Every structure is written in C-alpha cells, then in structure tokens.
C-alpha cells in the first residue's frame, strides 16, 4: 500500500472519530499523530513539531491578547456598545458582530480576529438573551471572509500574489482582493441571516463565564437600599458623648443604626458613645443636616442608595455579595448597615431571605452581606476564609466598570500588535509574542491570568493535526487527488477548470490548513491553466477564495476550532450552515472572478 493511500486512510479514520463524537477532540488529534508515526508516514520529530509550530505560538498569544482585553474591561465595553448600538434583535446583532469580525480580520488574520472577538460575541449573545452558538460560528465564517478584503488578511493571499508575480511579473494589489472579498462578506452575512436559525444548533456550552453585566441591578432589586445611611463622627464637645446608642439625643426621624469605635470595633449594647466614635444613622437629608448642626458631629460618609449607582459600582469602587461561611470568625459578631470592616462598608444584611433593615444583627452562618468599597478590597474577599463570595468580583468589575488606565494600555498593545501584523516586518508568531509579553509587563494581566486565558484544548487539537497536513502533502496524497480532478476536466473550458480547482481546493482545505492547501494546489492550478490556455490571475484568485472557504469542518481552520468549545458545537454541526455558505461562495466566485480578471 502506497504512502498516499495510507495517509488518506488515516485521514478518513480521524474524520470518522471526530464525527463519532465519543472521544475528546484533543485525544483524537493526538491519536491521529501517533497513527501517522506508527505507520511510518512521519517521524517522531514531526509528530511533536506540530506543538512547536509558529501557528501554535501565534494562537496562544492571541488568547493572551484577548484575555488582556477582557481583563481590562475592553471586551465588556465592546459588548455593551454592540448591543447598545445594534440592539438585541437577531439580525442587527449578527450584522454588527460579523461585520466587525470581517473588518478586523483584514488586519490581524482570521485566527486573530476570532480569538479577539470571541469573548465580545459571547457577552453580546448573553446580553441579548441568546445562545452563544447563534453568534460564534457566524463570527468564524465572517472572519474567513474578511481575510479576502486586503492582501494582509491571510497568508494565503500573500502566497497567490507571489505566485502571480513569479508568473507574470506583477502580483495582486494590496486592496485588489477586496473586489471579490467585499461581495463574499456580504453574501456570507446574507446566508447566515436567512438560514442561520434553521441550520445553527441551539445549545449552550459548559463552563462559559456568567453574565454579570446587570449585577448591580440584580443587587439593587434584592437589597432595596431605599434610604441608605449616613456615617457621622462625634466631636469631643458633642452632646452625644456619654449617651448610650439607644438614647442618643437626635432630631425626630433620625434613627441610630449602630456605633463604631475609632479602632473599628462595634460599640457594645448600652455602651456609651465616645469622642471620635462613628455613629451610623438613617433619616432624610434634612433630618441628618439638623443632627449635624445641633450635635457637634461631622459627616464622613453620605448615603449609598439605588439612586447613586455610579458611586456603588464604578471605576474605583464596587459591591460584592457574600455569605457568612460555616465556622467563620464572623459568627456571633455584631454587624449592621454602615459598619466598616477591613475597608469595606456593610450596605445591608439579609437572613433567610429577609432584609434585616437598619439595625444590629448577630451574624450567623448563612447570613448574606452586601459590601461596598475600593476594588482591591472587594477582590480580596475571594481570599477571605470567613465569607463565600457569590459572584467573582473580578468578573463583576470587568463586565461593569467603565474603562480605566488598564484598558487604554491593553488597546495600545493591541494596536502595536496589529501594526506589526499589517506591516509584515516580522512573522505573526513574533508579533503575537510581543503583544502577549507587553500585556504582562504593562500589568494588564498577571502571569497567572495569562496562562489561564489560553485555550489549551484548541492548541492540542491544532498541534495534533499539523502532522496530518504534512503527511498528506509529503506522501503525494494531495497531488494524487489534484491530478485526478484536473485530468477529469481537461479540455472542458475555463469555467469548468475554475469549478474543478474550487472543488479541489475546497475538499483539501477541510482537512488540511488553508495555507498548506494553497501551497499544494497553486503549482497544479498554474500548470492546468497553462495547458488550458487560461490566464493565471483568475485561477490564482479563485484558489485564494476556495482556500478561504473553510466552513465544513471545525478542523478546517483554527478560527473554527477556537469557537467550537465556547459555542458548544459538535463536529457535525459545521457542515450544515457551512455547505450553504460554500455554495454561495462557489456561485459568486465563478460569476465574478472571470469578469474582473478575464480568462
């Protein structure tokens, strides 16, 4: 049995395992590499070389860049802007996400665009009440289409442009790809709008981050915070000094919630108020103003209510809901609204689903506390053994707080990375490394956050399948298939040749990277064009279009694999919508390319 036949058998078995969907996709990819090794199609060095391929480095860096944008709040801001401007309607939201993906791809390649916009699309889907599966596959398809807008959109474009320059002395112009790229972007959006509801799966992936974009609204509905409280410090000559809390001389309507000593400890029941103590009171603004005027006290904290949303949750401060943990040191201690503990102010206390109101409470296991304070103190609660945090404070901050200094640093890093990619002064992997390291050095993300932001499943999947691409090319399997197809249409005219080359490139591109596919097909296409008397420009442009039409399988392109997990997709989900988009591309390519680039 020839190596070409053997490699096609391994390919068929790998696809069958993917379709079977009983094994983890990463395990299937590794098994594929091991099968190639056992059959002698590749050596051990080639098997492991896939995991060190520049595309793996580049994609890992893209995940870190996307993680930096998310950590800095840029992703949440973009999601809010998309929903705010496009609305929650399916059509307008799809158009906004897909158009953004296509335009961004022109600068950072399809893989970079998909990785950068993945969290934005997930957040936009959640905010519009839709499943992420309704947006993520269209996002990946639009990213593939966007690769044809400019020369820098994809390595495939550079390959065919260089081949045309070698053949004719002049390659394609920088924006020449957009002549066919713009119609393909539009037709991709149109097909998704028309057929997406019937062909896309409707399911949620496991492990997606919670949507905390309306966290403050939920807290305000749960904890009413109608009147709030005022903290006043007692002066040495105040008539409050020496009075017990339940007998503090105060104007009518002012209620004393509790007393906190200067050292932070709460005052005991019946214990006299001391100078420099902080007394927490409730009442209207006029009633509190009268207390201040008559009692020698000064206001140190104004009320926080549902009307002061920006003060409750903003760039500098936020809120957190916590539960008193079992065996917590808080059990048995007095807590009350307005009390400050470890830099955080208690806004409200709930027990058994009921608000305790403006009064002291002896904390018990399971009590809920709503706390407010600076973000560093709020985020420190995650490491406090005395309480259990209901919602991750860092996620709440990312999804709700306005853009801060970290966001602008993250955007600057992304701009530099895009400039490096667009200019071509270095390879994509190096540009990605520059961006990823800059995110860490500029403290947009911590090293731990950078590691956690990488989708290791996607990297294992891609790295495990790279040897398959190499085996199909080196064994002669690609040439065998290509030669048969070209021979079958020999003498059939320019349009039939273009159709055959499209199908050949399309089929190979579903199981081999589009870059490898175009590298294999380009010399075959040029040879066939010369034999048929067809100009090289339309043939090479068609190969570029067909090489970008990677819609039928998740392994066709890294962009498809990047969205597979978050979208909850299975291997067999892609071909349904992918086939419709592919047919549309086939029609547009055969109708437009011979007109713009005469055969």
CATH code (residue 256): 3.30.70.1450
Whose tokens are 């492991």? That residue is 48
Per-residue pLDDT reduced to its tens digit, 29-57: 899 899 999 999 989 998 888 888 887 88
Tell me if 371 is assigned to some domain: yes
Cα distance between residue 22 and residue 2, in whole Å: 30
For residues 425-444, average pLDDT: 90
Domain check: are 257 and 295 in the same one?
yes
Q: Which of 375, 391, 407 is the last residue of a domain?
A: 391
What value does the CA radius of gyration of the chain take, rounded to a whole number of Å?
31
The two beta strands, 361-362 and 340-341, are unpaired
Tell me if 330 is assigned to some domain: yes
Question: What count of other Cβ atoms lies within 10 Å of the Cβ of residue 526?
Answer: 20
For residues 311-330, average pLDDT: 86
pLDDT above 90 for 5 = no
Domain check: are 297 and 315 in the same one?
no
Least confident among 93-107, 150-164, 345-359, 431-445: 150-164
Q: What are the residues whose beta carbons fall under 8 Å from the beta carbon of 24, sequence distance 6 or more?
A: 457
Per-residue pLDDT reduced to its tens digit, 359-372: 888 999 999 999 98
DSSP state of 149: S
Tell me if 598 is assigned to some domain: no
pLDDT above 60 for 567 = yes
Predicted confidence at residue 485, as pLDDT, reads: 64
Predicted confidence at residue 209, as pLDDT, reads: 57
Per-residue pLDDT reduced to its tens digit, 487-498: 777 666 788 889
Joined tokens for residue 410? 């993250």
Tell me if 377 is assigned to some domain: yes
Domain check: are 246 and 317 in the same one?
no
Domain check: are 383 and 323 in the same one?
yes
Tell me if 288 is assigned to some domain: yes
Predicted confidence at residue 404, as pLDDT, reads: 76
Q: Which of 357, 391, 425 is the last residue of a domain?
A: 391
**Highest mean pLDDT of the ranges 211-225, 234-248, 438-452, 582-596:** 582-596
Domain check: are 384 and 325 in the same one?
yes
Q: Does residue 129 or residue 99 have the better pLDDT?
A: 99
Tell me which residue of 598, 569, 595, 572 sits closest to 134, measured CA to CA. 569
Cα distance between residue 137 and residue 561, in whole Å: 10
Predicted confidence at residue 185, as pLDDT, reads: 95
Domain check: are 249 and 320 in the same one?
no
Q: What are the residues whose beta carbons fall under 8 Å from the beta carbon of 227, sequence distance 6 or more?
A: 282, 283, 303, 305, 358
Mean pLDDT of the chain, nearest integer: 83
Q: Does residue 558 or residue 516 have the better pLDDT?
A: 558
Among left, alpha and beta (phi > 0; psi -120 to 50; other), residue 384 is beta
Contact 32, 83 (CB under 8 A): no
Per-residue pLDDT reduced to its tens digit, 201-236: 887 655 555 666 677 777 877 787 777 788 888 888
Domain check: are 297 and 317 in the same one?
no
**Three-class SS state of 216:** helix
Least confident among 12-21, 201-210, 343-352: 201-210
User: Per-residue confidence at 12, pLDDT binned at 50, 70, 90?
Assistant: confident
Tell me if 356 is assigned to some domain: yes
Contact 305, 227 (CB under 8 A): yes
Joined tokens for residue 306? 């549902």
Tell me if 350 is assigned to some domain: yes
Predicted confidence at residue 432, as pLDDT, reads: 87
Predicted confidence at residue 148, as pLDDT, reads: 92
Predicted confidence at residue 455, as pLDDT, reads: 78
Predicted confidence at residue 565, as pLDDT, reads: 81
Which residue range is the domain that position 241 belongs to?
230-301
Domain check: are 320 and 290 in the same one?
no
User: Per-residue confidence at 256, pLDDT binned at 50, 70, 90?
Assistant: confident
Q: Give, for 543, the enclosing helix (H) or strand (E).
A: helix 536-548
Cα distance between residue 301 and residue 320, in whole Å: 19
Cα distance between residue 219 and residue 221, in whole Å: 5
User: Per-residue confidence at 402, pLDDT binned at 50, 70, 90?
Assistant: confident
Q: Does residue 169 or residue 499 have the better pLDDT?
A: 499
pLDDT above 90 for 106 = no
pLDDT above 90 for 181 = yes
Find residue 341's DSSP bridge partners: 344
Q: Mind spelling out the 3-state secondary structure of 61-116?
A: HHHHHHHHHHHCCHHHHHHHHHHHHHCCCHHHHHHHHHHHHHHHHHHHHHHHHHHH
Domain check: are 386 and 317 in the same one?
yes
Domain check: are 340 and 387 in the same one?
yes
Tell me if 365 is assigned to some domain: yes
Predicted confidence at residue 516, as pLDDT, reads: 66
Domain check: are 247 and 317 in the same one?
no
pTM: 0.67
Predicted confidence at residue 591, as pLDDT, reads: 93
DSSP state of 502: H
Q: How many separate domains does the chain show?
A: 2
User: Per-residue confidence at 189, pLDDT binned at 50, 70, 90?
Assistant: very high
Per-residue pLDDT reduced to its tens digit, 282-308: 888 788 888 888 787 888 887 777 777
Domain check: are 382 and 324 in the same one?
yes
Q: Which of 364, 391, 418 is the last residue of a domain?
A: 391
């Amino acid at each position: 049995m020839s190596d070409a036949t053997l490699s096609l058998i391994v390919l068929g078995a790998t696809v069958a395992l993917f379709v079977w969907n009983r094994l983890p996709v990463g395990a299937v990819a590794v098994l594929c590499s091991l099968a190639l090794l056992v059959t002698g199609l590749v050596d051990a060095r080639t098997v492991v070389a896939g995991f060190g391929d520049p595309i793996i480095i580049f994609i890992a860096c893209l995940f870190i860049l996307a993680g930096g944008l998310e950590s800095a709040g840029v992703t949440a801001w973009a999601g809010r802007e998309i929903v705010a401007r496009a609305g929650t309607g399916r059509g307008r939201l799809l158009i906004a996400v897909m158009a953004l993906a296509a335009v961004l791809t022109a600068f950072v390649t399809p893989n970079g665009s998909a990785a950068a916009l993945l969290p934005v699309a997930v957040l936009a889907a959640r905010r519009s009440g839709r499943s992420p599966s309704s947006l993520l596959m269209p996002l990946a398809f639009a990213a593939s289409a966007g690769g044809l807008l400019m020369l820098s959109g994809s390595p495939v474009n550079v390959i065919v442009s260089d081949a045309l320059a070698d053949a004719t002395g002049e390659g394609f112009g920088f924006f020449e790809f957009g002549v066919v790229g713009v119609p393909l972007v539009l037709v991709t959006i149109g097909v998704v709008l028309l057929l997406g509801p019937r062909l896309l799966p409707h399911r949620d992936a496991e492990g997606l981050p919670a949507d905390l974009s309306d966290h403050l609204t939920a807290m305000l509905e749960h904890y009413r915070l109608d009147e709030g409280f005022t903290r006043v410090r007692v002066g040495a000559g105040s008539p409050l000094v020496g009075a017990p809390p339940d007998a503090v001389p105060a104007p009518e309507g002012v209620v004393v919630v509790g007393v906190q000593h200067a050292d932070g400890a709460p005052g005991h029941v019946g214990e006299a108020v001391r100078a420099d103590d902080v007394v927490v009171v409730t009442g209207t603004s006029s009633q509190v103003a009268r207390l201040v005027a008559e009692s020698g006290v000064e206001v140190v904290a104004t009320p926080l209510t549902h009307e002061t949303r920006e003060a409750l949750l903003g760039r500098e401060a936020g809120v957190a809901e916590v539960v008193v943990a079992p065996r917590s040191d808080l059990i048995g201690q007095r807590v009350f609204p307005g009390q400050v503990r470890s830099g955080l102010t208690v806004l409200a206390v709930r027990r058994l689903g009921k608000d305790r109101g403006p009064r002291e409470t002896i904390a018990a296991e399971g009590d809920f506390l709503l706390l407010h304070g600076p973000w560093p103190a709020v985020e420190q609660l995650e490491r406090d053994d005395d309480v259990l945090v209901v919602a991750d404070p860092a996620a709440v901050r990312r999804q709700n707080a306005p853009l801060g200094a970290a966001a602008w640093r993250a955007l600057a890093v992304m701009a530099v990375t895009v400039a490096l990619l667009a200019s071509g002064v270095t390879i994509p992997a190096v540009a990605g490394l520059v961006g990823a390291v800059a995110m860490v050095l500029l403290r947009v993300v911590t090293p731990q956050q950078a590691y956690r932001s990488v989708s290791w499943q996607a990297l294992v999947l891609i790295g495990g399948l790279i040897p398959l691409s190499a085996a199909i090319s080196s064994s002669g399997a690609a040439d065998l298939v290509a030669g048969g197809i070209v021979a079958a249409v020999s003498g059939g005219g320019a349009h039939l040749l273009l159709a055959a080359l499209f199908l050949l490139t399309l089929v190979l591109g579903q199981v081999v990277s589009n870059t490898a596919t175009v590298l294999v097909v380009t010399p075959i296409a040029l040879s066939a064009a010369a034999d048929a008397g067809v100009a090289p420009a339309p043939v090479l442009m068609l190969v570029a279009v067909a090489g970008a039409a990677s819609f039928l399988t998740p392994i066709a392109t890294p962009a498809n694999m990047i969205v597979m997990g978050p979208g909850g997709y299975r291997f067999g989900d892609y071909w349904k919508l992918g086939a419709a988009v592919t047919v549309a591309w086939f029609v547009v390519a055969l109708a437009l390319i011979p007109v713009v680039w005469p055969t």
